[in-house]
Every structure is written in C-alpha cells, then in structure tokens.
Amino acid sequence: MAIRTSIDTENNRIVFNSTDGGSYTFDLGRVHADNVRYATLHGFKQRLGDNAAFSRDSTTGRSPTDEEKMAAIRAMGDYYMSGAEGWTTRGTGSGSGESGEGGLIARAVSAVQGIPVQAVLERLDAKAASLGTTRRKLLNQLATAPAVREKMAELSPRAPVDADSLLSDLMG
C-alpha cells in the first residue's frame, strides 16, 4: 500500500490518498488558530533545519561544520523572510544563477568579487570537482564570510508587508 499526499493551497487542505482506495482530507480551516500558529513555526523549524542536513563529504569523510550548517539555515531563513513567494529556492533552470541553487549567495559572491554570477558558478563547480565536494557546500561556506553575509543582507529584498501582520492575517 502506498499513500500519496497533495497540498491544496487554494482551499487550505492536505489530501491523503492510498492505493487501496481510502482517502483523508485534512482541512486547515477547522484547526484552532493556536495549532495553526504552532504548526507554521514547527514547519519552518523543520524546513530550515532540513536545509542544513548535509551528509559527510564522500572523499574526506568530514562532517559539515556548525558554521556551514548555520549558513544554510541562515540562507533559507533569509530567503523566506525576504517575502519570496516560492516554497523552494530552486530556479526555473534558466542557468543565470539568479534564483537557482545558491542564488542569493552566488549573487553576493559575484558582487563582492566583481565578476558575473555565471563565472562564480563555473569557478565553484571547478573547485568543487577538484575538492570532491558540491557547489552547495562551497556556497554555504562562502555564506559564512562577513563580506558575503553583509552583501546578502543588502541584496535580500524586503517583504512588502510586516511579517507579524501577515502571519496574523493567515491565521484567519
């Protein structure tokens, strides 16, 4: 038996369907506001933490540092707090690096180094290959550099509405 889940954002529902024909609909509109608030915070805690769930480096066996993990958490949190609409930070595949993997970090490094984003990504890919690691890990390391963090804060768009007001509005 397999269970498939779909999220219906228009109607604030989660639908669970099993291969044996059973289904269940979870309706957020019927949930107490305190539980909606808690679930929202719990979901973001999980989402931000999941962004820092790196495996050991396959070549060296080295575990990611707390600094690298915090950079990943910070990058994901900053993405959401910027007022971005999309749940995922992955881009459309345009290749520009503007909103793809590490978009904000790559743009910040580009600005700090004075080179195009695509050049940053190409250099990172080459460096990652030579070190036996990934672009994402290198971007997260770069995000810990003070100059890059400062530039990320500068480049992050600010939300058009107050986050507390928005949260209150979403809770109904």
Note whether 19 and 37 are same-domain residues. Answer: no
Residue 75 banded pLDDT, cuts 50, 70, 90: confident
Note whether 39 and 1 are same-domain residues. Answer: no
Note whether 89 and 101 are same-domain residues. Answer: yes
Note whether 106 and 161 are same-domain residues. Answer: yes
Quick: pLDDT tens for 114-171. Answer: 888 888 888 998 998 898 888 888 888 898 888 988 888 777 655 555 666 667 777 7
Quick: pLDDT tens for 16-62. Answer: 999 888 999 999 999 999 999 999 999 999 999 988 887 777 777 88
Note whether 156 and 98 are same-domain residues. Answer: yes
Note whether 70 and 17 are same-domain residues. Answer: no
**Minimal CA–CA distance to 81: which of 48, 53, 54, 59?**
48
CA gyration radius for the chain?
A: 19
For residue 162, the enclosing domain spans: 32-170
Conformation bin of residue 12: beta by default, left when phi > 0, alpha when psi is -120 to 50 = left
Cβ-proximal residues to 138 (8 Å cutoff; 6+ apart), any chain: 124, 127, 128, 131
**Minimal CA–CA distance to 81: which of 22, 171, 166?**
166
Note whether 81 and 133 are same-domain residues. Answer: yes
Note whether 26 and 42 are same-domain residues. Answer: no
pTM exceeds 0.95 = no
Note whether 104 and 151 are same-domain residues. Answer: yes
CA atoms within 13 A of residue 105's CA, in its CB half-sphere:
27
Instruction: Identify the residue with better confidence: 14 or 128.
Output: 14
Note whether 78 and 120 are same-domain residues. Answer: yes
Note whether 79 and 59 are same-domain residues. Answer: yes
Among 8-22, 48-62, 96-110, whose mean pLDDT is lowest?
A: 96-110
Count how many domains the chain has. Answer: 2
Note whether 82 and 151 are same-domain residues. Answer: yes
